Amino acid sequence: MVATGLRDELPDIPGVHEQWGSGVLHCPYCHGYEVRDQPIAVVGGSNRPFTIHQASLIRQWSDDVVFFTNGIELSENERLRLDARSVGIVDVPVARIVVQDGRVIGIELTNGTVVPRTVVFVGPTFVPNDALLRSIGCTRLDNGWVATDPTGLTSVDGLWAAGNVSDSPAQLINSAAAGSKAAIAINHYLLELDVTRAVSAV
Ligand SMILES: Cc1cc2nc3c(=O)[nH]c(=O)nc-3n(C[C@H](O)[C@H](O)[C@H](O)COP(=O)(O)OP(=O)(O)OC[C@H]3O[C@@H](n4cnc5c(N)ncnc54)[C@H](O)[C@@H]3O)c2cc1C
């Protein structure tokens, strides 16, 4: 079983790496409740669809959300959908995340303006750590991720994958459950080999 997870490729903005997991977040289902009702920034990056969706989604946790497009060109309809939900939109590029005493206090734009914010959400690009699976020749889906059956079995006999390496949105509970499911399937697979070997020895 391969359970090597994924890498979050973050927007290349000063302050993002330093604050990752504390003042800079990506998952409202992990952190949304703790940062509810705060002035929240959503900053655009390379994962365009994820980030635009995130700007709408985060609005469920706070009335004060500003989307910093940061290079993302919004269509008229995308702008309308955010406007309709009272999500602020700033098109001036982001220069850095402003941090004071270890805490995010704002977003500095390239024109020098600082927009006060206490939390930043970004849309990382999710890259599976699947070099081993690919080198063995596992079939991949159209989106490039390794294909598995519901137990995690890949297209290669005897090789399972579990968790984020093959399932990007899986949270802790899903990843652990996938490991358990795969382990049971592997046990059944090995049992079948034992029985087959025993039968052929009779
Ligand atoms: C900032 C942040 C906050 C999060 N908060 C939550 C939360 O509150 N609740 C929640 O449910 N989920 C949360 N998640 C998601 C959670 O981390 C994942 O769902 C979970 O870790 C996936 O488990 P996994 O075992 O698939 O991968 P991982 O936990 O990433 O484990 C993979 C392991 O494989 C190792 N590895 C990689 N390549 C190799 C290799 N070639 N050889 C050997 N080892 C290798 C890695 O070092 C790592 O230890 C959060 C994620 C992030 C980034």
Alpha carbon nearest to ligand 1 atom 34, residue:
4
**pLDDT tens per residue across span 22-67:** 999 999 999 999 999 999 999 998 889 999 999 999 999 999 999 9
Q: Is the CB of 170 under 6 A from ligand 1?
A: yes
> In this predicted structure, what is the pLDDT of residue 47?
86
> In this predicted structure, what is the pLDDT of residue 46?
80
Please state, in angstroms and rounded to a whole number, the distance separating the CA atoms of residues 104 and 43. Answer: 14
Exposed / middle / buried, residue 188 (Cβ in 10 Å: 0-12, 13-18, 19+): exposed
Q: What's the gap in Å between 104 CA and the centre of ligand 1?
A: 24
| Mean pLDDT confidence for 9-33 | 96
117 confidence band (pLDDT: 50, 70, 90): very high
173 confidence band (pLDDT: 50, 70, 90): very high
**pLDDT tens per residue across span 133-171:** 999 999 999 999 999 999 999 999 999 999 999 999 999
* Complex ipTM value: 0.98
Please state, in angstroms and rounded to a whole number, the distance separating the CA atoms of residues 123 and 42. Answer: 8
Residue ranges and CATH numbers for the domains of the chain are: 7-125 (3.50.50.60), 130-201 (3.50.50.60)
Cβ–Cβ under 8 Å, residues 161 and 150: no
> In this predicted structure, what is the pLDDT of residue 12?
93
Q: What's the gap in Å between 171 CA and the centre of ligand 1?
A: 9
Alpha carbon nearest to ligand 1 atom 1, residue:
21
109 confidence band (pLDDT: 50, 70, 90): very high
Instruction: Report the mean per-residue pLDDT for the chain.
Output: 96
Q: Is the CB of 21 under 6 A from ligand 1?
A: yes
